[in-house]
Structure 1
Amino acid sequence: MATASETPVLDTLAAMTVDSIERCGLAPDMLLLTRIAALAASDAPPISYMAHIGPAMETGITSAQLQDVLVAIAPIVGTARVMTAAGNITAALGIAIAVAEAEIEEQG
């Protein structure tokens, strides 16, 4: 039987992510760009992008590359999904900035 946890959903998602990364041969930047494209295709909410934006920035992915991904998938997923994804990425970045600023205030 599984070990009890206070965050079983987050624990499961984290385990799935680790397993996926371990089994994937893509370079980290390509893996994250692919995941962001999948988030856009599935009409994911801003919180879903939060788990990918930080790591994407750490691998050196630029905002221009994020835009390129949205341009590349637009003919497949459609205008509405791409526009929603752009807005959700912007919201996720805003949340990430607010969290970082709060952490800086706590430290200083």
Structure 2
Amino acid sequence: MPDRPRPVADVAPGTRRALALLAAGGGGPEPLAALPRAAPLDRRTDALVRIAALIALDAPPAAYARQIAAAIGEGIASEDILATLLAVVPEVGMPRVIAAAPEVMLALGLPLPEAPT
């Protein structure tokens, strides 16, 4: 029997069950709704993670507008949003970040730069 990989961290039983449920396909909306939210992210982190996900997904402009407005409403500074853009470059690549930058600018109410001629 092959050796099982060693866990890199202690995994709480509830977290272990939730991950197994997700890895098995979720089992429908009822089991997914019952997943534990014992240690939710704080609001600031949650908002920035959502922006990072939009960048990774190449989300539509309306998604950026909605999420960035919510982030600003939570008191997140535009500098933090820029830091999020730059933080995901190694994972998603510079082309995704470049594609997201105009959407972020528009969501922040900034004019887009003139195209070079």
Q: Per the shorter chain, which TM-score range? A: 0.5 to 0.7
Q: TM-score scaled to structure 2, two decimals?
A: 0.58
The answer to whether residue 94 in structure 2 is matched with residue 79 in structure 1 is: yes
* Bigger-Rg structure (1/2): 2
The AA in structure 1 aligned to 2:53 is: A
Match of 2:72 in 1: 57
SS at match of 2:41: coil
Give the superposed CA RMSD.
2.2
1: CA distance, partners of 2:75 / 2:54: 19
Answer yes or no: is the 8 Å Cα contact 2:69–2:107 preserved in 1: no
The answer to whether residue 55 in structure 2 is matched with residue 40 in structure 1 is: yes
Q: TM-score scaled to structure 1, two decimals?
A: 0.62
- After TM superposition, give the deviation of residue 91 of structure 1 in Å: 2.0
**Paired positions, count:** 75
- Mind listing any 5+ residue stretches in structure 2 that lack a counterpart? 1-32, 111-117
Of 22, 28, 34, the residue aligned with 2:43 is 28
Higher relative contact order (CA closer than 8 Å, sequence separation 6+): 1
String of CA shifts for 1:63-105, please: whole Å, max 9, x gaps: 110111111100110111001111111122339xxxxxxxxxx
User: Percent of aligned positions with the same letter in both sequences?
Assistant: 41
Specify which structure has the higher proportion of helix: 1
The AA in structure 1 aligned to 2:61 is: P
Match of 2:4 in 1: none
